[in-house]
Amino acid sequence: MIIKKTKIGFSILEIIIILAVVGIMMSGLIPLFMSVLTANKSAAYYSEAYKVADSRIEELRSLSFESIDAEDGAENITTLPEGEVTTDITNEIDGAPRDNLRQVIITITWNFKSEKTYSTSTLIAEGGIGR
């Protein structure tokens, strides 16, 4: 059997094998590329959630201590898909009421392939930090 070469110097069988190998490589690279994009987008959303929570804490710290009261309800966040931020403020620390201390818990939820949550908490003291 004689295998004829094409004008570019490869046989038809060699071209089919090359196309098969390239196809197999691409079928492995495309899902890998897509998972990298998904991981990158997910990390960007966690970063945005952190920024929103940090901003909310700084807003509360800029207020006078007397004006920091318990907040109920949730607000939408337009920078996250189906994003919502909830701020819980209490003067009970470890079950004991404290008149000169507030505990702030910020919870941010969003939906990216499944529901994600970022939560952080801090204490705000009357007179500021260290007083």
pLDDT tens digits, one per residue of 90-108: 888 777 888 888 888 999 9
Of 85, 83, 79, 82, the closest CA to residue 59 belongs to 85
Q: What is the pTM of this model?
A: 0.69
Question: Of the ranges 36-40, 84-88, 90-94, 118-122, which one carries the lowest mean pLDDT score?
Answer: 36-40
What average pLDDT does the structure give for the chain? 83
CATH of domain 12-125: 3.30.1300
Express each pLDDT in 111-128 by its tens digit. Answer: 988 899 999 998 888 876
127: DSSP letter = T
Task: Look at strands 92-93 and 96-97 and give their pairing.
Answer: antiparallel
d(CA 39, CA 46): 11
Give the DSSP per-residue string, 3-62: PPB-TTS-BHHHHHHHHHHHHHHHHHHHHHHHHHHHHHHHHHHHHHHHHHHHHHHHHHHH
